[in-house]
């Protein structure tokens, strides 16, 4: 007896995977992007201070 794969059926595995991605991966990516944003802001402030100091 062969079981056929039903590709359009939502299983509990797919629900758990979606929950793990939503609760695990999205916050990590958001934290990384926020850290890079802070580095960029800090760098721009330093460059602006250096440019104004030389004037």
* pLDDT recorded at residue 37: 97
Q: What is the pLDDT of residue 1?
A: 67
Closest CA to 32 of 20, 40, 42, 22: 40
Q: What is the pLDDT of residue 15?
A: 93
Report d(CA 38, CA 14) in Å as an integer. Answer: 35
What local confidence, expressed as pLDDT, does residue 43 receive?
Answer: 92
The predicted model scores a pTM of 0.60
pLDDT, tens digit (0-9, with 9 covering 90-100), for 2-52: 778 888 888 899 899 999 989 999 999 999 999 999 999 999 988 887 776
């Amino acid at each position: 007896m062969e079981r056929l794969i039903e590709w359009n059926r939502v299983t509990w595995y797919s629900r758990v995977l979606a929950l793990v991605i939503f609760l695990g991966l999205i916050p990590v990516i958001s934290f990384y992007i926020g850290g890079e944003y802070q580095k960029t802001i800090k760098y721009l402030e330093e460059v602006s201070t250096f440019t104004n100091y030389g004037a």
